Chains A and B, each alone.
Chain A
Amino acid sequence: MENHINLFIDTVFIHNMIFAYFLGMCSYLAVSKTVKTSVGLGVAVIFVMVITVPVNYLLEKYLLKEGSLTWLSPKLAEVDLSFLSFIIFIAVIAAIVQLVEMIVEHFSPSLYNALGIFLPLIAVNCAVLGGALFMQQREFSNVWETVTFSFGSGLGWAIAIISLAAVREKIRYSNIPAPLRGLGITFILVGLMAMAFMGFMGFKL
């Protein structure tokens, strides 16, 4: 249990997807104009990550890693399919996003309308594929750890986008030098927020 809490705090604050790894930056900058839409996108990212990362973990463990096919037959112990991991991961993500889209559309049309275009776009959000690739690097021991990991990463991403949207709503009324308006000041803002998040790096877990 302690292990899970540590992992959770680590992924939300210390190794935050945005401020430490810059993953999912494109939609982060494009969609963070208002708090309402960014909450929608944040929730969608958490949702997709919690499903895709554990699925990819199971695929990695029972299909792709060297010697992972032994459950099929001991003769396959030397087969190493890990070079296929990129294509499998992205295919899983694209398929699950499509599936989630259909399920949400069927059972909760209001949520579907609220998420709108963001749901299909998540398939190409670097944070989701990044989550899968970091999962591969960190070598988790069981599937529950990947659930915690993906939930933490998704939540960290959602916190980052919602707070940026809140700041951007405020600066709409401030007098920014013309060339910095829009994108320029947003980059600098994110930089300052990332500096604040660097304070968490001192945590020893």
Chain B
Amino acid sequence: MSQLFSAKNLKLLTNPLNMENPITVQVLGICSALAVTVKMKPAFVMALSVTIVAAFSNLIISTLRKGIPARIRIIVQLVVVATLVIIVDQLLRAFVYDVSKQLSVFVGLIITNCILMGRLEAFAMANKPWESFIDGIGNGMGYGWILIGVSFVRELLGSGTVWGYPIMEKLGVYTIGYVNNGVMIMPPMALILVGVIIWIQRSRSKKLIESK
């Protein structure tokens, strides 16, 4: 067991949370990160789905990596990912139908989520299955916390709720003249919020600052 969670493997798990975050540093998987973050619940479901698909596609591709001819590897990767996404999609429809409706096409778009292809190409094709599995979970979580962070701000300021709970109403701020900020629900604010997260992250760790 200690072998499975060696220091190197733990690093694979924690690195994507900050220094190698898929969204803010590697610039992967932005599309869905922005589109599903109006409410926290869909964002959480999306983060979970991506983590599961990333972990298992990494595992499968890494297991098969020696048998995949280099020329057709993209197609093989796409087929593996698409199959996993179909399973996730059917599960979502069966158990959380309302969330599945809200996510609409974005569940299908997990297939072309760059995090998956990026990690498959950069990591799973060259590493052992268990490391790849951990790498998938780590990257999924790195993606997930950005999603949940952005959706928390957007839901709180845009709709005055947290996970559907009407917190602003309970605090009674509406009676003293507080109004929800409608722009928060609109697409542009998602982009600006991610921009701000990147700003904060880079001012804290100077290593990430881009050269001119």
Contact = CB atoms under 8 A, between A and B. Distances in A.
B191 A188 contact: yes
Interface residues of A, number: 48
B85 A86 contact: yes
17 contacts: A22-B190, A23-B109, A26-B27, A26-B31, A86-B82, A86-B85, A90-B78, A94-B74, A129-B108, A130-B112, A133-B108, A133-B109, A179-B209, A181-B210, A188-B192, A191-B188, A198-B187
Nearest to A176: B212
Contacts of B35: 21-23
A86 B187 CA distance: 25
Contacts of A180: 195, 198-199, 202
A89 to B, nearest CB: 8
Interface string B20-64: 000010011111101100000000000000000000000000000
B194 A187 contact: yes
B192 A187 contact: yes
B162 interface: no
Interface in A85-106: 85-87, 89-91, 94
Contact of B188 (A133, A183, A194): A194
A87 B188 contact: no
B202 A184 contact: yes
A205 interface: no
A187 B198 contact: yes
B188 A125 contact: no
B90 A20 contact: no
Contacts of B82: 86-87, 90-91
Interface of A: 19-26, 29-30, 83-87, 89-91, 94, 120, 123-126, 128-130, 133-134, 137, 177-188, 190-192, 194-195, 198
A42 B108 CA distance: 23
Interface string B105-117: 1001101111001
B199 A134 contact: no
A181 B212 contact: yes
A179 B27 contact: no
Interface of B: 24, 27-32, 34-35, 74-75, 78-79, 82-83, 85-86, 89-90, 104-105, 108-109, 111-114, 117, 186-192, 194-196, 198-203, 209-210, 212
Given A24-B31, A25-B34, A86 B111 contact: yes
B188 A84 contact: no
A183 B21 CA distance: 13
B30 A183 contact: no
Given A23-B31, A181-B212, A185-B195, A94 B78 contact: yes
A183 B198 contact: yes
B86 A83 contact: yes
A161 B4 CA distance: 44
B195 A191 contact: yes
A20 B187 contact: yes
Given A183-B198, A184-B198, A187-B195, A90 B27 contact: no
A120 B75 CA distance: 11
Contacts of B79: 87, 91
